[in-house]
Amino acid sequence: MAQTNLLKSRVVELDAGRGLTAIDNAEAEKIVEKLNQRIELLIRVNRDVLDSVSGAFRLILEASEKQPVAGLYGPKGLVATVDDMREIEKAMKEHPVTL
């Protein structure tokens, strides 16, 4: 029922020329909260996976012939570049996991 009402309000917004970008603050806050929960989940799962299989991954800080790109390597090759790892670390510091 709530989804039907939401769809109806979206159609009215489209008819009024406001498009799909017109959302109220309450709806925006709900979206942000849901996205924050998903970020927390992804960070936690990433951390837990790396902790549980730490021996399977190696952090290579300098490129070499064998590993031409510096980054995190797993059994099947490059998983994330050093820049990617820095962004993940930055996200973890800025977005402490509360789950």
- Under the banding of pLDDT at 50, 70 and 90, the label for residue 27 is confident
Residue 24 has pLDDT above 90, yes or no: no
Which of 73, 74, 72 lies closest to 84 in space, CA to CA? 72
Mean pLDDT of the chain: 83
Q: Model pTM? A: 0.58
Is residue 48, in this structure, part of any structural domain at all? yes
The answer for 17, left when phi > 0, alpha when psi is -120 to 50, beta otherwise, is left
Rounded mean pLDDT, 10-29: 69
Is residue 99, in this structure, part of any structural domain at all? no
Total of domains in the chain? 1
Is residue 67, in this structure, part of any structural domain at all? yes
Residue with tokens 């590993």: 67
Residue range of the domain that includes 72: 2-94
Contact between residue 60 and residue 73 where contact means Cβ atoms under 8 Å apart: yes
Contact between residue 57 and residue 72 where contact means Cβ atoms under 8 Å apart: yes
